[in-house]
Structure 1
Amino acid sequence: MATSAHKQASADRRETNRARGAARGYERVRARPIYAGRRYKINRRCIGRMMLFAPGAHPAELANFIGYCLAHNAERYGIQVHASLWMSDHHHTDVTDPDANLVPFKQQLHSVVARARNARLGRFDSVWSGDDPCDTGRSSDDESLMDLVYTLTNPVKAGLVKWSRLWPGFTTIGWRFGETRTFRRPDWFFDAAGDMPEEVSLTLVRPPIFPELDDDALYAKLMEAVRERELEIHRSMRRRGRRFMGLRKLARQRWSCVAKSVEERFTVAPKHAASSKGRVRVEIARDREWERQYAAARALLLAGKPAVFPAGTYWLRRFAGVSVAGQAP
């Protein structure tokens, strides 16, 4: 339960965020640039932090269902998947977006997953939280590798299983780069007479990092980092006197349960992540300049004057046909 100190901290953050926005000197811009070829860590959590994707007693069915939806939409929108793991109440998926299709990819993936999961659980409410998107990017090879490690070791970090490979839900742990796995159409949701294929395949694509390493060497480097992170978590668990939940208790976890930890409210969803604050500041400065250009172009458009929006403009280009500058580097 949130204490008065937590509530006061949330109120302070809200006021700070409002003051920061008022000091920008231009109308608020909710849009964000979508560039072709960018790497992202997609993060999405369930409404109310409910365990709507708890593996339960039939984890293979859930893993096949998520794999099918992910594979189908990745192929449809040309998204390259580098790692993915679906926890009970959220998921992390690391991708490269070659054709600037991140928005429709996420919309379709999360939409079909939500509708199917509701159908399977016999519920009718929202599945996903209404929080702002949290799709962070990394600027260096080392940090991109650690992003993959974070994704794959999330069940260990949460104290659910001792080793990442034991997670019974959907995960790409153990997949080699270039490996392809096939998933069958879930007959409990999709119509056999519909247009969804009976089988779809997902190939784990090597991220564009460490070009001096071949696929096997990069996979070995990733698995070594995963192992080191797991052992680090084990040491932390022992110091705190904690135990892992284990597969038996995990199988009994109900989807209606919610996370018990206290969550900070009114935080800003990050768009960039790096160990160096200087790198983050550089990326944020680029975002602010993009927002200024976008706000200026929007003002011209509303005034009925010719306007060219900055590269990366997505919604107005797709649905309103505005002019957009050339692709940013």
Structure 2
Amino acid sequence: MTRPRRHVADQVVALTRRTVEGRFFTRPDANINAVAAYEFARSASRSGVVVHGAVVMSNHVHIVLTDPQARRSDFMRDAMAGFTRARNNFFGRTGSLWDTNRSYCDTVLLDREVFEIQLLYVLLNPVKAGLVRRAKDWPGFKIMPSDWEKPMLVERPAAYYGDDQPEAFEFIPRRPPGYDAMTLEEVVAHFEKRLREAENEIHRQMKKQRRRFLGVKGVLATDPLSCAKEKRRRREAAPRYAAYHPALLDQAIVRERAFRSAYAQVRERWVQGKKRCVFPNGTLWLRRNAPVKCREHDPWEAGLAANYVPHSSDSATGVDALAG
């Protein structure tokens, strides 16, 4: 039995999906930008997820969102399948658009500090990769702090989609949780300041290493059927949880282990045909594909702790593994 995914309502998560062989199938162009906007809007409408940030790179996508109904698996299934169908039609190819050796990466963000680290990592992807000087210059689809709370009317792309699909969706990227004491303008300014500071540091490092940015023209000139010349370094699996404060990470790991143990025991009884099996909260596949009962949501479940007050001994934990 493979390790089950565990999705709990109201978790804040970072999701990543990579293309097959690292090919540049999602390289920026008018088609992929329109497809990404439509698929994200349609899939968010269906699943109820709340998107805070996203960047569609040339060979992978990053999304940071809140999952109120524990349905992000549905969001990723629908959006990624839509990407595949539309992009295959565009290229005249068949087969999977995404890496079939591994599924999407799913990391639950447990506190505000690690949320900021991850969101900045996502938005800075094109800059760190040496593609554009500023995150706002990336010609691909993206959702940035300046987009928060602004309704987007996303129309159905002219290519591929038939009249049986909705003509348009209203899609509203939302400000992240945990900033209730700040106005929207203050929250946006906070993230934009951190973004500029990080960009400037990358510029200093690039200059020190005598590296140059490829630039928008260079990005758009890249062959979408090609892949990076250098083989991508094999990375370890993304962590299930990430936190800046160790206490939160420890609590989440304890709950994850308890879930796996309970799930294995109940599943064994269920396979044997025994009745009155109640699966632990967070059960995903069986809850969606079989008539099983699950326990109610635990109000103390690990999630993004906006009001968590750290101890002086707390330090960053599980952060480095996020960059992937």
Q: TM-score range by the shorter chain?
A: 0.7 to 0.9
Question: 2:297 matched to 1:327?
Answer: yes
Farther-moved stretch of structure 1 (276-285 vs 147-156): 276-285
Question: 2:126 matched to 1:148?
Answer: no
Match of 2:258 among 283, 289, 295: 289
Question: 2:154 matched to 1:183?
Answer: yes
Q: How many equivalent residue pairs?
A: 297
Shift, 1:262, TM fit: 3.6
Q: Secondary structure at the match of 1:137?
A: strand
Identical-residue share of aligned pairs (%): 32
Question: 2:27 matched to 1:54?
Answer: yes
Shift, 1:30, TM fit: 2.0
Match of 2:212 among 233, 243, 252: 243
Relative to structure 1, the CA distance from residue 149 to residue 253 in structure 2 (aligned partners, 3 Å threshold; closer, same or farther) is same
Q: Summarize the alignment of residues 83-162 of structure 1 with structure 2, pairs less than 5 Å apart.
A: 83-130=53-100, 131-162=102-133
In structure 1, distance between residues paired with 2:178 and 2:145: 19
In structure 1, distance between residues paired with 2:91 and 2:75: 24
What value does the CA root-mean-square deviation take over the aligned residues?
1.7
Shift, 1:305, TM fit: 2.5
Q: Do 1:40 and 1:136's aligned partners in 2 also have CA atoms closer than 8 Å? A: yes
Q: For 1:54, give the aligned amino acid.
A: R
In structure 2, distance between residues paired with 1:251 and 1:177: 27
Match of 2:173 among 191, 204, 209: 204
Q: Do 1:68 and 1:183's aligned partners in 2 also have CA atoms closer than 8 Å? A: yes
Shift, 1:264, TM fit: 4.0
TM-score (norm 2): 0.87
Q: For 1:322, give the aligned amino acid.
A: V
Shift, 1:156, TM fit: 0.3
Shift, 1:201, TM fit: 2.2
Shift, 1:315, TM fit: 1.7
Q: For 2:6, give the aligned amino acid.
A: P
- Residue in 2 aligned with 1:168? 139
In structure 2, distance between residues paired with 1:290 and 1:167: 41
Q: Do 1:29 and 1:291's aligned partners in 2 also have CA atoms closer than 8 Å? A: no
In structure 2, distance between residues paired with 1:44 and 1:146: 19
In structure 2, distance between residues paired with 1:308 and 1:151: 38
Farther-moved stretch of structure 1 (287-296 vs 208-217): 208-217
Relative to structure 1, the CA distance from residue 215 to residue 167 in structure 2 (aligned partners, 3 Å threshold; closer, same or farther) is same
Q: Which runs of 5+ in 2 are unaligned?
A: 300-324
In structure 1, distance between residues paired with 2:279 and 2:168: 41
- Residue in 1 aligned with 2:44? 74
Q: Deviations over 1:115-166 (max 9, x none)?
A: 1001001111210012133111211112212222111111001110001111
Relative to structure 1, the CA distance from residue 303 to residue 48 in structure 2 (aligned partners, 3 Å threshold; closer, same or farther) is same
- Residue in 1 aligned with 2:315? none
Shift, 1:278, TM fit: 5.5
Shift, 1:266, TM fit: 7.0
**Displaced runs of 4+ in structure 1, greater than 3 A?**
260-266, 275-282
Relative to structure 1, the CA distance from residue 266 to residue 154 in structure 2 (aligned partners, 3 Å threshold; closer, same or farther) is closer
In structure 2, distance between residues paired with 1:123 and 1:220: 43
Q: For 1:309, give the aligned amino acid.
A: F
Shift, 1:112, TM fit: 0.8
The structure in which a higher percent of residues are helix is 1
Shift, 1:280, TM fit: 3.4
Shift, 1:107, TM fit: 0.4
Q: Which runs of 5+ in 1 are unaligned?
A: 1-27
Shift, 1:80, TM fit: 0.6
In structure 2, distance between residues paired with 1:265 and 1:315: 28
- Residue in 1 aligned with 2:4? 31
Q: Do 1:144 and 1:209's aligned partners in 2 also have CA atoms closer than 8 Å? A: no
Q: For 1:247, give the aligned amino acid.
A: V
Shift, 1:276, TM fit: 4.9
Q: Do 1:157 and 1:233's aligned partners in 2 also have CA atoms closer than 8 Å? A: yes
- Residue in 1 aligned with 2:238? 269
Relative to structure 1, the CA distance from residue 206 to residue 174 in structure 2 (aligned partners, 3 Å threshold; closer, same or farther) is closer
Shift, 1:309, TM fit: 0.9
Match of 2:192 among 218, 223, 231: 223
Q: Secondary structure at the match of 1:301?
A: helix
- Residue in 2 aligned with 1:21? none
Q: Secondary structure at the match of 2:212?
A: coil
Q: Deviations over 1:173-229 (max 9, x none)?
A: 36332111222211211113x1x1222221111111222111111111010111111
In structure 2, distance between residues paired with 1:223 and 1:266: 29
Q: For 1:51, give the aligned amino acid.
A: F
